[in-house]
């Protein structure tokens, strides 16, 4: 009996996961996705309806004949704590069953580099956040996107947030008493694009995460590709320049040294001190993040100075993308992350670099697009990470049984 109940719960979790990612589906579509027969699928849906976790949300458009009935997750059926970290700022949001942000996004200053108390600070921030959730029993897990060499299977970040004993995931779960999943931030942004963004329905896509570094998420054959150790996509550290600039990785001339938002802000400050005219004001080395955001906003609004500063970096990013096109022949390249707030300003210089550095036939069918997910891509991706592991939560921690069956 226990085994039968466990299998049922696992199937309920599978149905829930698919409904989360697709919003609404018919029993036929769910049958195809789960590999179960339509009668078994319908029975599972009916059980979840009885428990108040799923409801009949209407009818799909008819292609001839009877319109198929659609199913969706019930409002309030689950919650996810979603965390997006970069080297300077940690953002936290509560995300519901419709992949919508509930309430306000919290923003905390949390420096990762050379900060031995970073884990303690993160735990304190998360504990405080979770303690203020109205229905904490509905929280199924915490998803965290972070920079660095992240081994999501081992639960370790080899670049930041390192522990003396046990893994990072173990340290967080022991304190927070919730399932925790971690992943590289650029991979999660790619996951968000794959599930809900410009990469939806595409097979081979490169997602460029422009932030304090320049990350890369790779989608191959319609799935997230992470490589043998999970480290694929360290785009920032391709050595492209003979500039003798030391990169954060300890090597010289990496792509990051000429293209990150930090570099863009620093270049803008230098040019302004040299007397170049711009609408920008009060840029400071002490407030790099604020300055970078001002530049992105001004560029989108047409400030010539800001456009030119971004274009310099965009051209170099285009050089790096040219290498990716030669190696991986993607159908689409998406400019995402914080940098995407500048909009189409990136496209022209990136395309010029591709035209100059790519074999034309290789780049002939590669599109360049700006993400529509914006800054929220990282938070959306962190929520997707938890739901990707929804059945695993059921098997290992029995959290889903509590949420779905009680």
Please, what sign has the CA dihedral across residues 240, 245, 251, 255?
A: negative
pLDDT of 3 reads: 43
> Residue with structure tokens 């925790």?
180
Give the start-to-end residue ranges of the domains of the chain. 2-73, 79-187+379-405, 198-372
Whether 385 and 99 have beta carbons less than 8 Å apart is answered as: no
pLDDT of 398 reads: 44
- Angle (deg, nearest 10), helices 304-328 and 261-273: 150
Residues of the chain with pLDDT under 70: 1-6, 62-65, 394-406
- Residues across the chain: 406
What's the pLDDT tens digit per position in 65-121? 678 899 999 999 999 999 999 888 999 999 999 999 999 999 999 999 899 999 999
Report pTM: 0.90
pLDDT of 65 reads: 67
pLDDT of 6 reads: 66
For domain 198-372, the CATH class is: alpha beta
The architecture that CATH gives domain 79-187+379-405 is 2-Layer Sandwich (3.30)
How large is the greatest C-alpha to C-alpha distance in the chain, in angstroms?
A: 78
HSE value, Cβ hemisphere, 13 Å, CA-based, for 114 = 1
The architecture that CATH gives domain 2-73 is Orthogonal Bundle (1.10)
Report in angstroms the alpha-carbon separations of 207 from 130, 193, 235, 320.
Answer: 31, 8, 10, 13
| Cα–Cα distance, 97 to 315 (Å, whole number) | 40
Report in angstroms the alpha-carbon separations of 337 from 159, 373, 392.
Answer: 20, 8, 28
The reply to whether 198-372 shares the fold of 79-187+379-405 is yes
């Amino acid at each position: 009996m226990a085994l039968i109940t466990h299998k049922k719960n696992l199937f309920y979790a599978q149905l829930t996961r698919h409904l989360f990612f697709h919003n609404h589906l018919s029993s036929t579509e769910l049958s195809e996705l789960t590999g179960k027969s339509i009668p078994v699928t319908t029975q599972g849906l009916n059980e979840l309806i009885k428990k108040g976790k799923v409801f009949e949300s209407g009818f799909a458009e008819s292609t001839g004949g009877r319109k198929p009935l659609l199913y969706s997750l019930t409002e309030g059926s689950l919650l996810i704590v979603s965390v997006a970290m970069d080297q300077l700022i940690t953002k936290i949001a509560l995300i519901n069953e419709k992949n919508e942000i509930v309430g306000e996004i919290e923003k905390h200053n949390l420096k990762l580099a050379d900060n031995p108390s970073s884990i303690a600070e993160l735990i304190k921030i998360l504990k405080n956040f979770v303690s203020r959730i109205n229905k904490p029993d509905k929280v199924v897990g915490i998803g965290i996107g972070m920079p660095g060499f992240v081994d999501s299977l081992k639960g370790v970040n080899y670049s930041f947030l390192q522990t003396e004993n046990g893994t990072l995931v173990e340290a967080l779960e022991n304190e927070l008493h919730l399932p925790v999943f971690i992943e590289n931030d650029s991979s999660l942004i790619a996951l968000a694009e794959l599930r809900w963004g410009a990469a939806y329905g595409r097979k081979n896509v490169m997602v460029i995460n422009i932030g304090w570094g320049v990350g890369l998420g790779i989608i191959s054959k319609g799935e997230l590709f992470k490589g043998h150790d999970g480290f694929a996509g360290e785009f920032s550290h391709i050595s492209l320049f003979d500039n003798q600039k030391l990169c954060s990785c300890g090597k010289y001339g990496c792509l990051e040294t000429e293209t990150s938002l930090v570099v863009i802000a620093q270049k803008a400050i230098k040019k302004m001190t040299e007397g170049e005219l711009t609408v920008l004001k009060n840029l400071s080395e002490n407030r790099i993040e604020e300055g970078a955001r001002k530049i992105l906003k001004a560029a989108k609004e047409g400030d010539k100075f800001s456009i030119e500063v971004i274009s310099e970096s965009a051209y170099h990013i285009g050089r790096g993308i040219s290498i990716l096109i030669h190696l991986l022949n993607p159908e689409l390249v998406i400019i995402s992350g914080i940098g995407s707030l500048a909009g189409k300003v990136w496209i022209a210089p990136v395309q010029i670099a591709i035209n100059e550095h790519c074999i034309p036939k290789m780049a002939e069918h590669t599109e360049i697009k700006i993400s529509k997910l914006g800054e929220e891509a990282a938070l959306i991706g962190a929520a997707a990470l938890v739901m990707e592991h929804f059945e695993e939560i059921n098997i290992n921690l029995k959290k889903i049984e509590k949420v779905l069956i009680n």
